[in-house]
Structure 1
């Protein structure tokens, strides 16, 4: 009698699987599953956000009804989506939606990019971020062999160091605070300097080195002080960011959501279907939840906050329905040194350019 019941249960379960209909069926493809046998199939069926069948063209017919969309690939290849395990999602969204200076290391391109953002941003919106000179610094490798001349006024050996005169003319009515890629150097225009009470007659704010011309006038360049202590790099103290955060308006939830959607679109366009979000602000958990609940999350995320945010994560984690197949906690992140890109990572031997 027990055997009979087991057989009935198996039959019922089998029938329920085959009775499930697909929203999308893909046929005539070269579908690489990347399973342990590296098997190749012709077709697959998708229902909602799940793949319910991978196999032959013929077998997918049982998942098709009048509402099913059918896509003929005509031999095109299908692979599983990519997983990007290290995405600074918040800053990526700001670069895609706002100002991107990663590949900029000349005055001409620097002013061009900032002018473009200035022309399209709403009135009174701060221009921030940018991360200038990243690609140049990384491509230089051993900077001691570089043919370019370093700016001697910078303690960090910059090849390109902007100043407020480059942008003041077209940003008279808007504060600007942009940064080098490693956040050790910032540029503020005259509007931002005035709001921050940084001027010829005022001493440098605590924890910030203000570059000044021979008359004592700030050039717009601000340095986070050099420190060789391990303690100073564990959480990467950014004195300039902390100082200006007191006068800068917080970025709105609407802007963060728009940046998130823009970044997800970019990910989808190159086949990224899941990622690890490294150190984004805790507010992004609620943005992800909102998009998920509205069916607008197009990639699965593992959230990895910085170690100093662990209490906030603990407080809200159980209240908003995380840890499902779309949003999960990954780990926490902390630092014990810097990065190789600017010679701040710690090694036993000194850098050749020290």
Structure 2
């Protein structure tokens, strides 16, 4: 796992994987150079170093590029245990770094309804209807990715560009539904989800959040910023049905789904903008197993100031293990987001 991860941490997976790989034993040069863990040959490799320019080949040892040059020169680094990838002229470049993302949320988004490409509200309702047909009564249905500014039409009953949940209620009377906004700063709930969270027309807006309402005062289903948390207890109760083993399986699947999605676009390092101490413990476990496919730079989030003071000294991690896990920042929010109309503007 780590030998492939060393490659992924340097180069875009989708490009490199096009080449043929071989683990056939190779000789070493008369110079006696130590054999590399990984060698790429016969490619078009952008070093992004003006002094080096483009090269044919490179060698990697202990997660570090140790040599670049012609294929003949780098062949000297091939030993019995070296993995060799014949690029056959294909292009290779250093991997991209995601500057701000939410790693576990990215994986979760692949497990639930993907609403990122819907063209209008009717498509959202149709996707939920299909999910309801496959679900048991009472089973929660989650989705994420919708953005009202991307729709080709504004619903007739829209409040600030977003509809009421009437049409959603018709297709999901017995299933709580919660659909996250693309920004993560809002969510849309049907009446069953609002009821599960004890949210009604008379529920007061929480500090830092808004229960969006019609002019008549009826809750539309849209929950902005901290108002999303009003339903968290109900979701936690629902998730409590899972055994610890099932929860870990789901979390590990999320890591793989998030990693695959990032690597698909050549992202090999990821700034995770907010993880709990518990999630960081999970990342550290994976790193120690060699099961983190990409490098994570994690910000600590969702802890009180008192918890931060107590716990941060134990969670500062600089290049943990083989440089696949770094924790050296925190995240705090003082305002909402523009896309979800939660910002104070």
TM-score (norm 1): 0.69
Give 1:263 deviation, angstroms: 0.7
Asked if 1:114 corresponds to 2:128, the answer is yes
Correspondent of 1:247 among 234, 241, 264: 234
Aligned 8 A contact 1:45 1:60 in 2: yes
Correspondent of 2:275 among 258, 275, 280: 280
Aligned 8 A contact 1:24 1:68 in 2: yes
Correspondent of 1:30 among 44, 48, 61: 44
- Mark the structure with the bigger radius of gyration: 1
Aligned to 2:163: 161
C-alpha distance in 1 between matches for 2:57 and 2:266: 19
C-alpha distance in 1 between matches for 2:166 and 2:93: 49
C-alpha distance in 2 between matches for 1:238 and 1:119: 31
Aligned 8 A contact 1:185 1:221 in 2: no
Asked if 1:130 corresponds to 2:144, the answer is yes
Give 1:238 deviation, angstroms: 0.8
C-alpha distance in 2 between matches for 1:167 and 1:69: 56
Aligned to 1:70: 84
Aligned 8 A contact 2:316 2:327 in 1: no
Give 1:116 deviation, angstroms: 5.0
Asked if 1:332 corresponds to 2:330, the answer is yes
1:45-76 residue CA offsets vs partner (Å, 9 max, x unmatched): 23453333222222323322233332221221
Aligned to 2:107: 93
Aligned to 2:60: 46
Aligned 8 A contact 2:197 2:232 in 1: no
C-alpha distance in 1 between matches for 2:147 and 2:278: 29
**Larger RCO, structure (CA 8 Å, separation 6 or more):** 2
Number of aligned residue pairs: give it. 302
1:92-141 residue CA offsets vs partner (Å, 9 max, x unmatched): 2222222222333523310233345556778865333514225517xxxx
Asked if 1:262 corresponds to 2:276, the answer is no
Aligned alpha-carbon RMSD (Å): 3.7
Q: Give 3-state SS (helix, strand or coil) of 2:298's partner.
A: strand
C-alpha distance in 2 between matches for 1:54 and 1:119: 56
C-alpha distance in 2 between matches for 1:121 and 1:23: 48
C-alpha distance in 1 between matches for 2:199 and 2:332: 32
Aligned 8 A contact 1:105 1:133 in 2: no
1:330-350 residue CA offsets vs partner (Å, 9 max, x unmatched): 433334444444566677xxx
C-alpha distance in 1 between matches for 2:91 and 2:44: 4
Q: 1:185 to 1:274 in 2, by over 3 A?
A: closer
Runs of 5+ consecutive residues of structure 1 not aligned to the other structure:
1-14, 138-146, 225-236, 348-354
Correspondent of 2:71 among 43, 57, 61: 57
Give 1:164 deviation, angstroms: 4.4
